[in-house]
């Protein structure tokens, strides 16, 4: 059934901007955990007769986002009042941007290789966040709501995509990519659990081959990647089913019921005219000169895709490692710091595999951010350098890393103290190899009978004898040399 219908999805993402103060007043934005209504003033609480002042840093961050999303930045944009009655909106309107948004006509690239897609960005505009309602139930069962305005007036960006997404998985990928970019450029924490990034999904379906778009349903407040995935999938199924049964889709707003795993009708869709938009008379037009735009562009951090490509071309890191290393800016910075300490003599690929392999295994196990580990880039570089020169082998290196990950301290000191420095000296290893051969006559006979793979077993025995510190390449050479010599035991043929 589903195969007859093509899903069409457009996303509206709201991101709180990482400013210290609110959009139009000096109230702080770090109110998490604070008592209700302790971070408010007459402006963000909507008193009459007060004047808003535009937060310049919010504008800077918004321009950054516009540029990072390949948008045109409007030289002149404007704030408008968007009216709707809601208890968490004390003014009765939200200051937003309507027909003249700050940024428009951009795109975001998602997927890799053949699966790569540019998803159009219709617009990026600035607005202010609303307050919050806290729903309570009294002892007698009466349900009531409290208003907390701490969030009211926090700078918010709305990023609107073109209806160019055709699966729930791609929608999720798109939001992940947006979040990654927002974090890279320091524009938003992107934390969905804290509500700093929120998503509304517009979903329609149409018969495959049909050009015109079907009526869309807007699913509000998808606050996790899992919700985005499940809600969109469910909605695609619901609409396809309805059409297949000869029904039609009403344009409406629905909510996602996480427990039931279904979308539920909330209200019929409101139209722009319902909001009675008009220009905010208390704010001047927002102007961004060409010079300012260029200055912001100059300050923009290297974006994840560009950094990934550079890691591959400049350092010769594998495509997979490059993706992992550039997922978060902190990780990419960490990796480049390791390389700085290593210098040219050690291949970057080796360093990459230690970061994405051994270090990440420990960090993931403990859910520890890379910025908080005792394994500084300098210490990891020291260890990787030792692995490269053969002073420790990979297995011992792993043990050394585990130890200084827990306790701190120098890799070299730990390796020496624990007797983990690699033995590659043939004078030391030859007697061990001989002892192993003497103790495993059967294996030796098998090898001589043509069973080559027995060498692995013998190598393992030598590693065991040296507590894993022997250089396996040297041991292999020694084993082959000893085994190719005439048997020393038994009758020697004349």
Binding site for ligand ADP (CB under 6 A): 8-12, 160-163, 202-204, 213-214, 216, 272
Neighbouring residues of 148: CB distance < 8 A, sequence distance ≥ 6: 36, 37, 131, 132, 133, 134
Q: Is 307 helix (H, G, I), strand (E, B) or coil?
A: helix
Residues 6+ apart with CB under 8 A from 229: 168, 169, 171, 172
Residues 236, 7 contacting (CB under 8 angstroms): yes
What does residue 395 show for φ and ψ, rounded to 5 degrees? -65, -45
Which one of 44, 156, 359, 420 is in contact with Zn ion (CB under 5 A)?
44
State the minimum distance, in angstroms, from the CB of residue 58 to Zn ion: 13
Interface mask toward Zn ion for 12-31; x: CB under 5 A = -------------x-x----
Pairwise CA distance, residues 235 & 171, whole Å: 13
Other beta carbons within 10 angstroms of residue 51's beta carbon come to 10
149 versus 339: smaller Cβ distance to Zn ion: 149
Q: Give 119 or 415: the residue with its C-beta nearer to ligand ADP.
A: 119
Nearer CB in complex with Zn ion: 17/25: 25
CB 267 within 8 A of CB 253: yes
Nearer of residues 66 and 153 to Zn ion, judged by Cβ: 153
Q: Is 58 in the site for Zn ion (CB under 5 A)?
A: no
Write out the H or E segment, with its range, that includes residue 415: helix 411-417
Nearest to 186 by CA among 337, 401, 426, 16: 16
306 binds, among ligand ADP, Zn ion, none (CB under 5 to 8 A by kind): none
In the chain, DSSP finds a helix count (H) and a strand count (E) of 16, 16
With respect to ligand ADP, which residue has the nearer C-beta, 162 or 229? 162
Give residue number: closest CB to ligand ADP: 10
Q: Which one of Zn ion, ligand ADP, none interacts with residue 11, CB within 5 to 8 A by kind?
A: ligand ADP
- Regarding 95 and contact with Zn ion (CB under 5 A), the answer is no
373 binds, among ligand ADP, Zn ion, none (CB under 5 to 8 A by kind): none
- 217: enclosing H helix or E strand: strand 217-222
Least distance CB 205 / ligand ADP (angstroms): 9
* Separation CA 330–CA 137 (nearest Å): 43
CB of 281 to ligand ADP, least distance (A): 24
The answer for 193, left when phi > 0, alpha when psi is -120 to 50, beta otherwise, is alpha
DSSP string, 248-310: -PPPEEEEEETTTTEEEEEEEPP-GGGG--EE-TTS--EE--HHHHHHHHHHPPPPHHHHHHH
Pick between residue 32 and residue 272 the one whose CB is nearest to ligand ADP.
272
157 binds, among Zn ion, ligand ADP, none (CB under 5 to 8 A by kind): none
CB closer to ligand ADP, 180 vs 202: 202
12 or 305: CB nearest ligand ADP: 12
- Shortest Å distance, C-beta 12 to ligand ADP: 5
Q: Is 257 helix (H, G, I), strand (E, B) or coil?
A: strand
* Residue 10 near which of ligand ADP, Zn ion, none (CB within 5-8 Å, type-dependent): ligand ADP
What's the min distance (Å) between Cβ of 37 and Zn ion?
11
Q: How far is the CB of 154 from ligand ADP (least distance, A)?
A: 22
């Amino acid at each position: 059934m589903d195969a007859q219908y093509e899903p069409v999805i457009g996303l509206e993402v709201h991101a709180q901007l990482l400013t210290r103060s609110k959009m139009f007043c000096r109230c702080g934005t770090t109110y998490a955990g604070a008592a209700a209504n302790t971070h408010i003033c007459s402006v963000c609480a909507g008193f009459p007769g007060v004047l808003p002042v535009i937060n310049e840093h919010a504008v800077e961050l918004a321009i950054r986002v516009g540029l990072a999303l390949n948008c045109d930045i409007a030289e002149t944009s404007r704030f408008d009042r968007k009216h709707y009655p809601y208890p968490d909106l004390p003014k009765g309107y939200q200051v937003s941007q309507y027909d003249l948004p700050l940024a428009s006509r951009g795109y975001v690239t998602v997927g890799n290789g053949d699966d790569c897609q540019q998803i159009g960005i219709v617009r990026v505009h600035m607005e202010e966040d609303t307050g919050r309602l806290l729903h309570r139930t009294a002892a007698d069962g009466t349900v009531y709501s409290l208003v907390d305005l701490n969030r009211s007036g926090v700078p918010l960006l709305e990023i609107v995509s073109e209806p160019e997404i055709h699966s729930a998985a791609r929608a999720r990928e798109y939001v992940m990519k947006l979040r990654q970019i927002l974090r890279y450029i320091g524009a938003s924490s992107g934390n969905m659990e804290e509500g700093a990034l929120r998503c509304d999904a517009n979903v329609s379906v149409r018969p495959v081959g049909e050009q015109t778009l079907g009526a869309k349903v807007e699913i509000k407040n998808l606050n996790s990647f899992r919700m985005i995935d499940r809600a969109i999938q469910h909605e695609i199924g619901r609409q396809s089913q309805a059409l297949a049964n000869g029904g039609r889709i009403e344009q409406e707003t629905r909510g996602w019921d996480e427990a039931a795993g279904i979308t539920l009708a909330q209200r019929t869709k409101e139209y722009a005219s319902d909001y009675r938009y008009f220009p905010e008379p208390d704010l001047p037009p927002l102007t961004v000169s060409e010079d300012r735009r260029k200055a912001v562009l100059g300050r923009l951090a290297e974006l994840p895709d560009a950094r990934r490509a550079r890691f591959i071309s400049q350092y010769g890191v594998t495509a997979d490692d490059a993706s992992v290393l550039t997922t978060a800016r902190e990780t990419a910075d960490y990796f480049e710091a390791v390389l700085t300490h290593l210098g040219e003599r050690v291949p970057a690929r080796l360093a990459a595999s230690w970061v994405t392999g051994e270090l990440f295994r420990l960090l993931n196990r403990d859910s520890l951010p890379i910025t908080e580990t005792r394994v500084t880039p300098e210490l990891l570089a020291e260890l990787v350098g030792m692995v490269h020169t053969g002073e420790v082998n990979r297995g011992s290196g792993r043990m050394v890393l585990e130890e200084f990950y827990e306790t701190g301290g120098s890799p070299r000191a730990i390796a020496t103290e624990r007797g983990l420095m690699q033995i590659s000296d043939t004078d030391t290893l030859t007697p061990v190899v001989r002892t192993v051969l003497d103790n495993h006559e059967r294996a030796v006979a098998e090898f001589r009978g043509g069973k080559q793979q027995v060498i692995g077993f013998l190598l393992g025995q030598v590693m065991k004898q040296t507590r894993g510190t022997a250089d396996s390449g040297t041991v292999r050479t020694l084993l082959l040399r000893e085994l190719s010599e005439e048997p020393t035991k038994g009758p020697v043929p004349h």
